[in-house]
Structure 1
């Protein structure tokens, strides 16, 4: 017999757990095209590209 395992239904996103806090990028950038972020002793650069996308680099 060739039986396939039953697919487990994926719960909708609302049932995955508590919602994460959401912050608008304008709140972080404050009119700048890039900001430095210190995290765990490391410095990261968050910047906006010409295509208006965000890039986070170390």
Structure 2
């Protein structure tokens, strides 16, 4: 139960840091494409690592 208190404190600290960041005025098309590509590659990488972990755990590798 103590973990919940630490998690909520961490969330509040991160939220306060995000609020203090300057507001982004505009995104170019290139920035949007780069952001989308980064998100897609991150998701693919996460799924690949998860699949590798599952194969190692089942003894297939």
Common fold by TM > 0.5? no
Task: Name the larger-Rg structure.
Answer: 1
| Higher share of residues assigned strand | 1
Greater relative contact order structure (CA < 8 Å, 6+ sep): 1
Give the TM-score normalised by structure 1.
Answer: 0.26
| Higher share of residues assigned helix | 2
